[in-house]
Structure 1
């Protein structure tokens, strides 16, 4: 193809078509980039699960050996156990409940405390094993719905970008129309200013809804590993915050009420996701815990570290 043909082709193609092709190319690149990031995140997640299982398995073996040595009155090997306890603090999936037990075991590790920690480790390892199974199943043998979701999930970034461009374009069009109305009709200045303010609030409300839709599409399945907040209430709250923005089609006058409702829902989110404060948990030597522990045979060992935290009391009650 000669230069003359290229010039003729460039003159034939409109600037709008060129902009559309560039926009489509950008969206495709974002989709491919998001898919690669999700793939890397899944692999990193699998590595973290495997690392946590390796650390927990080492500590469980040391605890079991320590328990057997204590029961047969053999010489203990505290150095290896202390090393395994310290190494557990670096586990990627270490929960606060397990961290408290590890810290208490470092202060005083008797037979009863080792048994409680071993039970907690086994529960956490079972959770991580199930989580690893789901990750491998999602990667190598996804179901019908999971395979479709894997195709749609990388589109969160391109869809968010397209949504932001659409919100900005609608904002500019509305501001232009209201400015023309303001310059032509002097008696409608208050209403024009009010509509301009509602337009900005509608833009902010739509942007909030778009961000929470993006959060829902990129949210990772926790499989009961999220210890700071419940997964379902926060997801449901995000859906409600995004769905409230659909009432914008009533008119621009509804934008202040929609934005106020989203702000209230945003504040409710802090109340839902707040963790249990330390003052609400039982403290060392609390009489209620000591009474709860006394009738159980698992608590035969005495000492000041016996009721160091609420997790040990719960384990005694369950056993």
Structure 2
């Protein structure tokens, strides 16, 4: 194609069409970039699961060897040193739960036979959870179901849709502000009503922006499969949906914008309360300093009670699995 043909083609294409093509190119690039980031995030998640399983497996091996009393007297010192190193390494596991962290800390202070047995059962329970989680991540990556495969195609579109939504909100704000300037040409008696409408327009823009951000958060929120590593997934998803759905009432009119924005801010503040991480029970854990200072008979009674509860829960789990 000659340079004159390029010049004719450039003269034929309108600037608006060029802007549309550039915008589409940007959205496609954002989609591809988001898909690559999600793939990297999924791989990082798999690596964290594998690292936690490796650390837990090493510690479980030391604990199981200790509980089986298969160590000679000459190997006791070396085994005890390896157990301490495994306990310290367990505190750096990516999926370490608060309950398991407390048991590890108690075992580091005083690791008797009962604490080793209790920690071993907790480790086996957490390892089973992580194994199930790893299996689900591998299924999502290599053999996704019909709905999962569709969601994998739609989820990277969160970034391009959020950008398009922000552009639409800004353009609507500019158009409304320009329309108000033509309706109210600056008469003194019209200034109060114009100021109120302009304020409502800005509040509607802020409300729509908040809703858009929470829709984006809802689409990019990582699913949790009963892993106690962060705040609960369900309250976060529910609050995000409610905050985004409240903005739909903007069709009532600009006068409703202050109330809608106020409801969204109240829900945002409630989120700090509902999405708080799980707190530890008020009952002192085994090895708590206050518990160690208690009466020896009470200490032995609590050991027996905790051991019975642990054995009952393990029997119930084995019965449910069978």
Tell me the residue number matched to 1:108.
110
Tell me the residue number matched to 2:25.
25
Contact 1:88 1:94 in 2 (8 A): yes
Do the aligned partners of residues 278 and 92 (structure 1) sit closer, same or farther apart at CA in structure 2, a change above 3 Å counting? closer
Do the aligned partners of residues 45 and 279 (structure 1) sit closer, same or farther apart at CA in structure 2, a change above 3 Å counting? closer
Q: Could you say what secondary structure the match of 2:184 adopts?
A: helix
Tell me the residue number matched to 2:8.
8
Tell me the residue number matched to 1:97.
99
CA distance in 2 between counterparts of 1:273 and 1:292 reads 35
CA distance in 2 between counterparts of 1:217 and 1:299 reads 42
Deviations 1:72-131 (A, max 9, x none): 989632011111111111211111111111111111101000000001101110110000
CA distance in 1 between counterparts of 2:224 and 2:253 reads 39
Structure 1 residue 249, shift from structure 2 partner: 1.1
- Whether 2:301 is the aligned partner of 1:294: answer yes
CA distance in 1 between counterparts of 2:9 and 2:86 reads 70
- Whether 2:128 is the aligned partner of 1:126: answer yes
- Which of 256, 259, 271 does residue 257 from structure 1 map onto? 259
Tell me the residue number matched to 1:147.
149
Contact 2:95 2:229 in 1 (8 A): no
Structure 1 residue 186, shift from structure 2 partner: 4.2
**Structure 1: unaligned runs, 5 residues or longer:** 301-312
Deviations 1:265-318 (A, max 9, x none): 01110110223556945373457xx86971764769xxxxxxxxxxxx974784
Do the aligned partners of residues 134 and 198 (structure 1) sit closer, same or farther apart at CA in structure 2, a change above 3 Å counting? same
Tell me the residue number matched to 1:273.
275
- Whether 2:203 is the aligned partner of 1:201: answer yes
Contact 1:70 1:111 in 2 (8 A): no
Matches within 5 A, 1:164-183: 164-183=166-185
Tell me the residue number matched to 2:40.
40
**Structure 2: unaligned runs, 5 residues or longer:** 315-322
Contact 1:213 1:238 in 2 (8 A): yes
Tell me the residue number matched to 2:318.
none
Tell me the residue number matched to 1:61.
61
**Aligned length, in residue pairs:** 306
Higher mean alpha-carbon deviation, 213-222 vs 175-184, is at 175-184
Do the aligned partners of residues 212 and 189 (structure 1) sit closer, same or farther apart at CA in structure 2, a change above 3 Å counting? same
Deviations 1:125-155 (A, max 9, x none): 0110000000000001000000000000000
Deviations 1:36-66 (A, max 9, x none): 1111111111111111101100100000001
- Which of 161, 164, 183 does residue 162 from structure 1 map onto? 164
Q: Could you say what secondary structure the match of 1:224 adopts?
A: coil
Contact 1:201 1:255 in 2 (8 A): yes
Q: Could you say what secondary structure the match of 2:69 adopts?
A: helix
Matches within 5 A, 1:226-265: 226-265=228-267
The TM-score normalised by the length of structure 2 is 0.88
Contact 2:31 2:160 in 1 (8 A): yes
Do the aligned partners of residues 295 and 5 (structure 1) sit closer, same or farther apart at CA in structure 2, a change above 3 Å counting? closer
Contact 1:53 1:128 in 2 (8 A): yes
Higher mean alpha-carbon deviation, 18-27 vs 38-47, is at 38-47
Do the aligned partners of residues 11 and 200 (structure 1) sit closer, same or farther apart at CA in structure 2, a change above 3 Å counting? same
CA distance in 1 between counterparts of 2:159 and 2:70 reads 57
CA distance in 1 between counterparts of 2:224 and 2:281 reads 27
CA distance in 2 between counterparts of 1:182 and 1:140 reads 61
